[in-house]
């Protein structure tokens, strides 16, 4: 049984650019959630996908968008990058739409310069 894998592990982008982060969910998990973790802070909920539909969103602007594919893998897209977008982006999968049994990936460290 594989866990949650995220790619890339590290990324450096310039302000104003666009970025796509990828997540492969754990086998058997149909729900993927994305979190942003700023340095020294707890993870903040961005949004959740359940069976390819967004079914929950946190307090993030529309330039944060996502997709979930039929195999339940997911992408997080961020447009018009800002310096404050620099953070660790975490993907978590779970076997149902409820947050129980979350398994987190190791994250993608995004640096915006």
Partner 1 sequence: QQQVKQSPQSLIVQKGGISIINCAYENTAFDYFPWYQQFPGKGPALLIAIRPDVSEKKEGRFTISFNKSAKQFSLHIMDSQPGDSATYFCAASREDDKIIFGKGTRLHILP
Please state, in angstroms and rounded to a whole number, the distance separating the CA atoms of residues 6 and 25.
Answer: 9
Q: Is 95 in the site for partner 1 (CB under 8 A)?
A: no
The answer for 14, left when phi > 0, alpha when psi is -120 to 50, beta otherwise, is: beta
- Does 101 bind partner 1 (CB under 8 A)? Our answer is yes
Q: Does 105 bind partner 1 (CB under 8 A)?
A: yes
Residue 28 CB, shortest distance to partner 1, in Å, is 16
Please pick, from the candidates 1, 2, 14, 40, the single residue that binds partner 1 as defined by CB under 8 A: 40
Cα within 13 Å of Cα(36), Cβ side: 19
Q: Residue 94: name the closest of 76, 75, 72, 64 by CA.
A: 72
Query: Segment contacting partner 1 (CB under 8 A): 12-20, 63-71, 79-87, 91-99?
Result: 91-99
Q: Which residues bind partner 1 (CB under 8 A)?
A: 4, 33, 40-45, 48, 56, 58, 90, 92, 97-107
């Amino acid at each position: 049984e594989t866990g949650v894998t995220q790619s890339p592990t590290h990324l450096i982008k310039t302000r104003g650019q666009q970025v796509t982060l990828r997540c492969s969910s754990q086998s058997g998990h149909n729900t993927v959630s994305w979190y942003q973790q700023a340095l020294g802070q707890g993870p903040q909920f961005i949004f959740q996908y359940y069976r390819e539909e967004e079914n929950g969103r946190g307090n993030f602007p529309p330039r944060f968008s996502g997709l979930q594919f039929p195999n339940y893998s997911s992408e997080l897209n961020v447009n018009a990058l800002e310096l404050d977008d620099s953070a660790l982006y975490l993907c978590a999968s779970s076997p149902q739409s409820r947050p129980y049994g979350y398994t987190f990936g190791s994250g993608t460290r995004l640096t915006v310069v």
